[in-house]
Amino acid sequence: MQKSILAAGCFWGVQHKLDNLKGVISTKAVYAGGEIAEPTYQQVCSGNSGHAEAVFIEFDEEILLFRDLLLFFFSIHDATQLNRQGPDIGTQYRSAIFCFSEDQEQTAKNLIDELQQTPKYSREKIQTIIEKADLFFDAEEYHQKYYRKKGF
């Protein structure tokens, strides 16, 4: 089993999409990349905590390679938007890949370089940042599997 943390805007939709991807074992809405321990949703939403709304993923790499997980990640959001996704604006909505190993980091860098050369990204720079998956904190329970709880 492998793990990853991905940020692509509001974690509700991202988690919902990842939950339906073959090879994903579990997901959890988290706050990643910030400077405050155990942040609240209000602290993260203020944009002052440094955290991104993100999704922690456990996946079976015999079914889903990390590179393929990242390809899916790039297909579900606009990686050319800096610190936003649609109407959600701020660093807490940044596009980010939080890596647990040097192999993950290298795979992410190589894929971003490769994608940047494709027609889809030839006019605009990919804004996705790569960060180390040092500290992350579970989001509050009401954020977990939000779409499923609301019947979407």
Which DSSP symbol is given to 82? Answer: T
| 45 classed as catalytic | no
pLDDT value for 91: 96
3-state secondary structure of 146: helix
Q: From the candidates 7, 10, 96, 99, which is the catalytic residue?
A: 10
Number of domain units in the chain: 1
Count the neighbouring beta carbons within 10 Å of the beta carbon of residue 112: 20
pLDDT value for 151: 78
Strand order in the sheet with 52-59: 129-132, 95-99, 2-8, 52-59, 24-32, 136-138
pLDDT tens, N- to C-terminus, the chain (152 residues)? 999 999 999 999 999 999 999 999 999 999 999 989 999 999 999 999 999 999 999 999 999 999 999 999 999 999 999 999 989 999 999 999 999 999 999 999 999 999 999 999 989 999 999 999 988 999 999 999 988 888 77
The structure's pTM equals 0.95
Show the domain range for 130: 2-150
What is the domain-level CATH number for residue 72? 3.30.1060.10
Single out the residue of 69, 73, 67 nearest to residue 8, CA to CA.
73
pLDDT value for 77: 97
pLDDT value for 8: 97
pLDDT value for 152: 76
pLDDT value for 84: 95
